[in-house]
Amino acid sequence: MRLSHGIHRTEKILSKGSLPTMNTMDYQHYQAVLDTLERRELPSAGDLAAFINACAPQAFSGPVPEQAGDLEAQYLEEAELRDNAAQTAAITLLNAGDSSALREELFARARRVARRHFGTKIYLRGLIEISNICRQDCRYCGIRRSNADASRYRLSPEEILGCCEHGYGLGFRTFVLQGGEDPWFTDERLAELLRGIKARWPDCAVTLSVGEKEEASYRLLRDAGADRFLLRHETADPVHYAKLHPPHQSWEKRMACLRSLKACGYQTGAGFMVGSPWQTTACLVKDVAFLHEFRPEMVGIGPFIPHTRTPFADFPSGNVERTLTMVAITRLLLPPAMLPSTTALGTAAEDGRERGILAGANVLMPNLSPKSARLRYTLYNNKRSEGAECADNIEALRRRLQAIGYDIVVDRGDFRKEQD
pLDDT tens digits along 162-219: 999 999 999 999 999 999 999 999 999 999 999 999 999 999 999 999 999 999 999 9
pTM of the model: 0.92
CB of 411 closer than 8 Å to CB of 123: yes
Task: Report the pLDDT value the prediction gives residue 359, as an integer from 0 to 100.
Answer: 98
Q: Is the pLDDT of residue 386 over 70?
A: no
Task: Report the pLDDT value the prediction gives residue 38, as an integer from 0 to 100.
Answer: 97
Q: Where are the alpha helices (DSSP H) in 147-211?
A: 157-170, 187-200
pLDDT tens digits along 80-96: 998 765 555 555 568 88
CB of 363 closer than 8 Å to CB of 122: yes
Mean of pLDDT values over 105-116: 98
CB of 128 closer than 8 Å to CB of 176: yes
Amino acid at 214: E
Task: Report the pLDDT value the prediction gives residue 92, as an integer from 0 to 100.
Answer: 58
Q: Which class for 347: exposed (0-12), middle (13-18), buried (19 or more C-beta within 10 A)?
A: buried
Task: Report the pLDDT value the prediction gives residue 218, as an integer from 0 to 100.
Answer: 98
Q: How far is CA 109 from CA 28, 37, 119, 325, in A?
A: 16, 10, 14, 12
CB of 375 closer than 8 Å to CB of 89: no
Task: Report the pLDDT value the prediction gives residue 91, as an integer from 0 to 100.
Answer: 58
315 pLDDT band, cuts 50/70/90, is very high
Q: Is the pLDDT of residue 25 over 60?
A: no
Mean of pLDDT values over 21-48: 85
DSSP 200: H
CB of 174 closer than 8 Å to CB of 207: yes
Q: Where are the alpha helices (DSSP H) in 171-204?
A: 187-200
Which of the residue ranges 4-13, 237-246, 330-339 would you say has the lowest mean pLDDT? Answer: 4-13
Task: Report the pLDDT value the prediction gives residue 420, as an integer from 0 to 100.
Answer: 42
Which of the residue ranges 135-149, 263-277, 375-389 would you say has the lowest mean pLDDT? Answer: 375-389
Task: Report the pLDDT value the prediction gives residue 393, as an integer from 0 to 100.
Answer: 85
pLDDT tens digits along 216-225: 999 999 999 9
Mean of pLDDT values over 37-44: 97
Q: Is 174 helix (H, G, I), strand (E, B) or coil?
A: strand
Task: Report the pLDDT value the prediction gives residue 182, as an integer from 0 to 100.
Answer: 98
302 pLDDT band, cuts 50/70/90, is very high
CA dihedral over 222, 224, 226, 229, signed as positive or negative: negative
Query: What average pLDDT is seen over the chain?
Result: 91
Task: Report the pLDDT value the prediction gives residue 85, as an integer from 0 to 100.
Answer: 56
CB of 340 closer than 8 Å to CB of 365: yes
The CA distance from 358 to 366, in Å, is 18
CB of 321 closer than 8 Å to CB of 283: no
Task: Report the pLDDT value the prediction gives residue 297, as an integer from 0 to 100.
Answer: 98
Q: Which class for 312: exposed (0-12), middle (13-18), buried (19 or more C-beta within 10 A)?
A: buried
* HSE, side-chain direction, 13 A CA sphere, residue 93: 9
Q: Is 205 helix (H, G, I), strand (E, B) or coil?
A: strand
Task: Report the pLDDT value the prediction gives residue 382, as an integer from 0 to 100.
Answer: 84
Task: Report the pLDDT value the prediction gives residue 389, as an integer from 0 to 100.
Answer: 65
Q: Of the candidates 261, 281, 277, which has an alpha carbon nearest to the alpha carbon of residue 314?
A: 277
Task: Report the pLDDT value the prediction gives residue 228, as an integer from 0 to 100.
Answer: 98
24 pLDDT band, cuts 50/70/90, is very low
- The full set of domains in the chain, from first to last, is 103-409 (3.20.20.70)
| Beta-strand relationship, 174-179 and 205-209 | parallel
288 pLDDT band, cuts 50/70/90, is very high
Mean of pLDDT values over 105-122: 97
What residues are paired with 367 via a beta bridge?
127, 390
- DSSP one-letter string for 350-413: TTHHHHHHHTT--EE--B-S-HHHHHH--SSTT---SGGGBGGGHHHHHHHHHTTT-EEE-S--
Q: Is the pLDDT of residue 1 over 70?
A: no
Task: Report the pLDDT value the prediction gives residue 84, as an integer from 0 to 100.
Answer: 62
pLDDT tens digits along 144-162: 999 999 999 999 999 999 9
